[in-house]
Amino acid sequence: MKNETLLILNNASVHYGGVKALDEATLSVDEGEIVAVMGPNGAGKSTALKALIGLAPLSSGSVLWHEKTILPIPHEMPGRGVAYVPQGRQVFKSLTVYENLELGGYSLANKKDIQNNIGSTLQLFPALREKMDVKAGLLSGGQQQMLTIGRGLVADPRVLLLDEPSLGLAPKVVKEVFEKVREINEARKIAVIIVEHSIKSALSIAHRAYLLSQGRVAYEGNATDVEKSRQLEKIFLAAP
């Protein structure tokens, strides 16, 4: 029995001025699935995530949640069950680790739920427990990345959107981040769409992958099939 399809970007186009950042692109994520979105710089990867969360208005196409068309509004999406972790480790540097995590639960009406979710998040990221009273700006790059992911989890999402989580991190830390993403998926049954330039890291944890080129989906398939195919060379190296 096929798992339920949770979130769909359907035949979507996004224009920035005269530039077509997305061109009739369709991608989706099913319950319990990790989907990697890859492609060269300027392929439209981050725009696809922003379109799903409502940060990049669609010129055409639609976003579907549980197979129903919605108008994605960024501050409402956590309440629906979709959390977005932007690239660049965007923590609130002057706030403590605890305060950053607490802000992740702004869509939850019950304060007890926020506390419970912070507790379960700290089980995934025990290193943060020792830093609860430390200002986020004083954390290492890897700890800040863990915090941004953890903050997204406090809303208890069904789908987690991750934009370039390995950006600017040392290889050892990148490995830790991807291990955590796999653990989040397996332990919490949270579906993940991950935009990532580290192809090997992304394919090591993904079930399916989309390859984007010039705003269009050039290839879609199982992660193992992508590795075996010549699509990566064709798209990244313009090989014939």
pLDDT recorded at residue 240 = 43
Is residue 134 in a domain?
A: no
Domain count, the chain: 1
Is residue 19 in a domain?
A: yes
pLDDT recorded at residue 224 = 87
* Whole-number percent of the chain with pLDDT over 70: 97
pLDDT recorded at residue 238 = 59
Is residue 113 in a domain?
A: no
pLDDT recorded at residue 106 = 86
> CA angle at residue 40 from 148 to 78, to 5 degrees?
30
Record the tokens describing residue 27, joined without a space.
Answer: 């991608």
DSSP state of 54: T
> Quick count: other Cβ atoms within 10 Å of Cβ 208?
21
Is residue 52 in a domain?
A: yes
pLDDT, tens digit (0-9, with 9 covering 90-100), for 82-98: 999 998 778 999 999 99
The model's pTM: 0.92
Question: Domain of 225?
Answer: 5-88+159-236
Record the tokens describing residue 49, joined without a space.
Answer: 């995530």
Is residue 152 in a domain?
A: no
Is residue 35 in a domain?
A: yes
pLDDT recorded at residue 138 = 96
CATH of the domain at 224: 3.40.50.300
Is residue 117 in a domain?
A: no
Residue 130 sits at φ, ψ, to 5 deg, of: -80, -10
Please say if the pLDDT value at position 227 is more than 90: no
Please say if the pLDDT value at position 239 is more than 50: no
Is residue 114 in a domain?
A: no
pLDDT, tens digit (0-9, with 9 covering 90-100), for 45-75: 999 999 999 999 999 999 999 999 999 999 9
> Quick count: other Cβ atoms within 10 Å of Cβ 168?
14
